[in-house]
Structure 1
């Protein structure tokens, strides 16, 4: 369940309250008359089945909620009541499949907002990845993947392409370019220091690396994994299952490729420089394309299903007939 907190303008009071009380997917409707001061209006709260939230919010906007009102969305950890169960049953589909587009949109813009923590974590992850290459350690490769924060920006760009939000696309691509550039250059500077100390040399990248050699050798499987990771990551975000993202982080070689690229830059190895760059670009493009396609498909399916949702006089869902 999700909780909606609304400030309803006085002029829109009657139709909005009527909608909330009549929809069986909505429960626990609470109205405080003239309690809201900024903006002025009624303070209204209600619980909504997750898979119905986008449809209900869209209907509220059609009734003029955006004209002087506001809406806030909160997750409800548990709602052990018969009323909540009836609301879930009235909403078609499964809660895990429900996409709340307002939440996804907010997350997308949040993910492409630059912050010093993004640059720090990406730089740390790239440095760990470079050490993984030096030590030929698959464990450190996994650690670098988990530390890397880049998937949020990738998801933001995918969302921008899916919804044709040019501002979102531009911010996301800029953040990825600047983030990886800063991380690679800082790691390359440290690699030069390590070379000056005699810790690494030109043979470091040319020695056998059975555990990490794949990082700079992109092939058709690299694209397949990137596409699958993009699909999994997008579904986890739209379904609110962020824990699944850990699996996405450790499945793609964006950060490891950046670490190898930084070493190749410092040690002037053109073959590994080209290979690492291709691996990094292939993974980013594959994830963005797959994520955008999944979002478009979800948007089409849920928009069509929302138009088919109808209830009888008793508030029971009228199932659409198969054609």
Structure 2
């Protein structure tokens, strides 16, 4: 269940409560007249089944409540209520399959912003991966994958393509390109520093690295794994199963490929640098294509489910 909190102008309260009362899947409607001070108006509280959440949010935005008042949504961790249970049963579809498009757009907008924190995580992840590829240490590679924040802008691109929001797409592309460019540039400097300290050597970079060779030797499986990870990542975001994102992060070779390209470039190993760049591009393309396709399928299936429920209702 979702907890909906709406601040609405007093002259729009009846319209808002009317929407919530006629929506299948709502419970515990509360109206506090004159409770809101900034902006001034009434406070409307309601619990909404996740399956009905997207439709309610879309209607409230169409009414302009997000501009004249405020709309916020929280996940309910525990609800002990027979009325809430009944509302969830009456709502069309399954909660696990429901997509809150407004929530998805808001989450990807935040995660795809080119911020200092985003850059710091990406740079640190790339430098950790650089140590992993030079030392041929798979544990460091996995750690770098988990630290990397690059799935945020990738999810932003997928969401922007499906929702047709150019601003989100542009923001995500800038975060992705500028982030990787900055991280790789810093990693080149890091590699030169480590070489000067005698911690990185030509022999390590040029030698056989059985545990990490896949990073600069892409093949068809690189794209296949990226596509599977992209699908899993988008399902994780839309179903609020955030724990699965960790598995997605350590499934794709984006950060390690960027790191190996930077290290190889600093040692003038251009063949390795190009192979790593191919690996990076294959993974990015696979994630975006699969993630976008996943959202399109979810959107189509959810619309079909709602139409079927409306006909039977």
Number of the residue aligned with 1:65: 65
Number of the residue aligned with 2:252: 252
Alignment of 1:138-177 (within 5 A): 138-177=138-177
Which segment is superposed worse, 29-38 or 230-239?
A: 29-38
Which segment is superposed worse, 234-243 or 164-173?
A: 164-173
Alignment of 1:153-232 (within 5 A): 153-232=153-232
Give the TM-score taking structure 2 as reference length: 0.95
Q: Would you say the 8 A contact 2:26–2:47 is kept in 1?
A: yes
Distance 1:182 1:64 in 2: 40
**Structure 2: runs of 5+ lacking an equivalent:** none
3-state SS of 2:312 partner: coil
Which segment is superposed worse, 86-95 or 198-207?
A: 198-207
Distance 1:128 1:269 in 2: 20
Q: What are the superposed Cα offsets for residues 146-204 of structure 1, whole Å, 9 maximum, x if unpaired?
A: 01111111101111122222111111111111111111111111111222233333322
Distance 1:174 1:160 in 2: 13
After superposition, the Cα gap between the structure-2 partners of 1:108 and 1:208, relative to the gap in structure 1 and judged at 3 Å, is: same
3-state SS of 1:253 partner: coil
Distance 1:61 1:21 in 2: 17
Per the TM alignment, residue 304 of structure 1 is displaced from its structure 2 partner at its CA by: 3.8
Per the TM alignment, residue 307 of structure 1 is displaced from its structure 2 partner at its CA by: 4.2
Number of equivalenced pairs? 313
Q: Would you say the 8 A contact 1:25–1:88 is kept in 2?
A: yes
Which segment is superposed worse, 20-29 or 273-282?
A: 20-29
Per the TM alignment, residue 229 of structure 1 is displaced from its structure 2 partner at its CA by: 0.5
Per the TM alignment, residue 63 of structure 1 is displaced from its structure 2 partner at its CA by: 4.6
Which segment is superposed worse, 20-29 or 282-291?
A: 20-29
1:115 aligns with 2:108: no
Q: Would you say the 8 A contact 2:216–2:257 is kept in 1?
A: yes
Q: What are the superposed Cα offsets for residues 54-74 of structure 1, whole Å, 9 maximum, x if unpaired?
A: 012223344553462321111
**Structure 1: runs of 5+ lacking an equivalent:** 311-317
3-state SS of 1:110 partner: helix
Number of the residue aligned with 2:128: 128
Distance 2:300 2:84 in 1: 27
Which segment is superposed worse, 220-229 or 93-102?
A: 93-102
> Higher helix fraction: Structure 1 or Structure 2?
2
Give the TM-score taking structure 1 as reference length: 0.92
Distance 1:248 1:7 in 2: 38
RMSD, aligned α-carbons: 1.6
Q: Would you say the 8 A contact 2:108–2:155 is kept in 1?
A: yes
Distance 1:121 1:63 in 2: 40
Q: What are the superposed Cα offsets for residues 28-81 of structure 1, whole Å, 9 maximum, x if unpaired?
A: 111011222222221001000011100122233445534623211111111021
